[in-house]
Amino acid sequence: MKWLSVEQTPQLHGSVKIPGAKNSSLALLAAACLADDTVILQGIPNILDYQVICQIGKEIGLEITRDAAGTVYIDSNRIFHTGLDPIKSSSFRTAYYFIGALLSKFGKVSLGYPGGDNFVSRPIDQHIKALEKLGATFTFHEDYYEVEASELKGATIYFDTITSGATINSMLAAVRAKGTTTLLNAARDPEVVDTAMFLNKMGAKISGAGTDTIRITGVSQLNGCIHTVIPDRLIAGAFLISAGMVGGTVTVQDIVPEHLRNCVVKLQEIGLEFMIEGNSITSYSDGKLKATRVRTGMYPGFPTDVQQPMTALLTQANGKSIISEKVYPNRFNHVPQLVKMGAEIKVRSGVAFIKGKSSLKGAAVHASDIRAGICLILAALAAEGQTMITGVQHIERGYENVVEAFQSLGARINLKDSIMSEDDIQKYGGVYHQL
């Protein structure tokens, strides 16, 4: 079993190069299947979700190779069937992008129900509604579903809620559909824009990405291209927060500062200071933090994926903070773990009430999803003694080399990959057996 050992760290200092965005990469890998020649993608992180896509790809004839420099080559010309392994496709969230990407070329796709971070129920009704409007039919079975379309036709689609996933999936399905598609109340996330820019490089005709109305004129063919995925704003946000957690100076490099404006402004209110220079942001903190109110929202709102590290940070702010989780109201699996470490947090109806400043103490805690994992790492840096974090496989879904990145800032964190030794079991007071 893999687990993380994290010890209290007085301050963090240094720079971290931010990898390509997971959420964009997962869309681009599927989108690449729409091209009739090889697509070259730079900056795709070598995370678990990518590795599963490679395995699924191999089984259907989709060739994905990665060279020593990390450049990924995708050749979809030899796809010979579109039945994605239900178990593998259920092990991450975005297998559904392969519906949008493969339907226009092959007319039929089958796959397992969406997995990924199961912190709450995550409906896909807007994906279904949009794809049905474009001409698809869905058949649901116990552990997989099938989607068919003899022809996809452009349509006007209004999303009842702002969803990045359904916006991207609809763009993928519409780019080779007949006629024009209009997406109303579309998500404006940078990952939506990145996907549209990538598709346009392949020859698609998409306008309006980044606004709430996107227009797509279907084309009959898409070609290969070279594209570099945007940097991961969510990882960058967590590292900016890390400076506030224990004090210090942390620079995130290779980012798009505009994507992080929401986080930076909110963190300034709490007492962090920033310097933005070109493609990097430096975050400074003397450890004195003020309580605040945070309300998550779809981009450009405060990201739900940065809510968890923010929760950890606010345990160290003097006074009462309130976090309203508006995207996924029950996304607070990290809270009981923080409470185990000594945090004073109560959650009621999608709102977390945090009383700071708490003296955190090392404990055995479990990361139930990607961002909960990063939240616990941050809390552990501030906690007296040692913290043991299990659930590393969740963190690895989203973060490549997370341990090395924190170590480079001076964090006392180590990945252990073993049955715990008698000494460790003693150290954690036998809590390992209770997990």
Ligand X SMILES: CC(=O)N[C@H]1[C@@H](OP(=O)(O)OP(=O)(O)OC[C@H]2O[C@@H](n3ccc(=O)[nH]c3=O)[C@H](O)[C@@H]2O)O[C@H](CO)[C@@H](O)[C@@H]1O
Ligand Y SMILES: C=C(OP(=O)(O)O)C(=O)O
- The backbone torsions φ and ψ at residue 155, rounded to the nearest 5 degrees and listed phi first, read -155, 170
Q: Which of 82, 91, 110, 163 binds ligand X (CB under 6 A)?
A: 163
Residues with Cβ within 8 Å of 65's Cβ and at least 6 positions away in sequence, in order, are 72, 73
Catalytic residue, from 49, 75, 117, 369: name it.
Answer: 117
State the nearest-atom distance from the C-beta of 130 to ligand Y, in Å.
18
Report the C-alpha gap between 147 and 99 in whole angstroms: 7
Q: DSSP readout, 276-289?
A: EETTEEEEEE-S--
- Give the count of residues interacting with ligand X (CB under 6 A): 20
Q: Where are the beta strands (DSSP E) in 300-408?
A: 319-324, 344-348, 351-356, 364-366, 386-390
Q: Where are the beta strands (DSSP E) in 286-411?
A: 293-295, 319-324, 344-348, 351-356, 364-366, 386-390
Site for ligand X, residues 48 to 107, rule: CB under 6 A: 93-94
Q: Which of 31, 91, 97, 117 binds ligand Y (CB under 6 A)?
A: 117
Report the C-alpha gap between 24 and 225 in whole angstroms: 16
Indicate the residue among 3 and 119 with the shorter CB distance to ligand Y.
119
The β-bridge partners of 156 are 182
State the nearest-atom distance from the C-beta of 273 to ligand Y, in Å.
27
Indicate the residue among 85 and 305 with the shorter CB distance to ligand X.
305
Q: Is 127 in the site for ligand X (CB under 6 A)?
A: yes
> Catalytic annotation on 117?
yes
Indicate the residue among 110 and 308 with the shorter CB distance to ligand X.
308
Contact call for residues 390 and 367 (beta carbons, < 8 A): yes
Instruction: Sort strands 39-42 and 72-75 into parallel, antiparallel or unpaired.
Output: antiparallel
Indicate the residue among 305 and 396 with the shorter CB distance to ligand Y.
305
Structure letter (DSSP) for residue 46: -
In the numeric block, which tokens belong to residue 234?
Answer: 């969510």
Crossing angle of helices 233-246 and 307-314, in 10° steps, is 10
Question: What is the number of the residue whose Cβ is closest to ligand Y?
Answer: 116
State the nearest-atom distance from the C-beta of 121 to ligand X, in Å.
7
State the nearest-atom distance from the C-beta of 195 to ligand X, in Å.
10
Report the C-alpha gap between 230 and 209 in whole angstroms: 15
Q: Which of 43, 57, 224, 398 binds ligand Y (CB under 6 A)?
A: 398
The β-bridge partners of 139 are 146
Q: Is 169 in the site for ligand X (CB under 6 A)?
A: no
Contact map string, positions 240 to 279, toward ligand Y, x by CB under 6 A: ----------------------------------------
In the numeric block, which tokens belong to residue 132?
Answer: 């049905």
Report the C-alpha gap between 82 and 416 in whole angstroms: 38
State the nearest-atom distance from the C-beta of 45 to ligand Y, in Å.
12
Question: For 182-208, b where at least 16 C-beta lie within 10 A, e where not — what string?
Answer: bbeebbbbbbbbbbbbbbbbbbbebee
Site for ligand X, residues 10 to 39, rule: CB under 6 A: 23, 26
What residues are designated binding site for UDP-N-acetyl-alpha-D-glucosamine? 93, 122-126, 305, 327
Q: Which of 164, 181, 195, 390 binds ligand X (CB under 6 A)?
A: 164
Q: Is 93 in the site for ligand Y (CB under 6 A)?
A: yes
State the nearest-atom distance from the C-beta of 90 to ligand X, in Å.
14
Site for ligand Y, residues 20 to 79, rule: CB under 6 A: none
What residues are designated binding site? 22-23, 93, 122-126, 305, 327
Segment lying near ligand X (by CB under 6 A), choices 121-129, 223-231, 263-271, 351-359: 121-129
Q: DSSP readout, 182-216?
A: EEES----HHHHHHHHHHHHTT-EEE-BTBSEEEE
Segment lying near ligand X (by CB under 6 A), choices 125-133, 208-216, 257-265, 409-417: 125-133
Q: Which of 122, 215, 320, 416 binds ligand X (CB under 6 A)?
A: 122
Positions annotated as catalytic residues are 117
Residues at the contact surface with ligand X, assessed by CB under 6 A: 23, 26, 93-94, 122-127, 161, 163-166, 187, 304-305, 327-328
Residues at the contact surface with ligand Y, assessed by CB under 6 A: 93, 116-117, 305, 370-371, 398
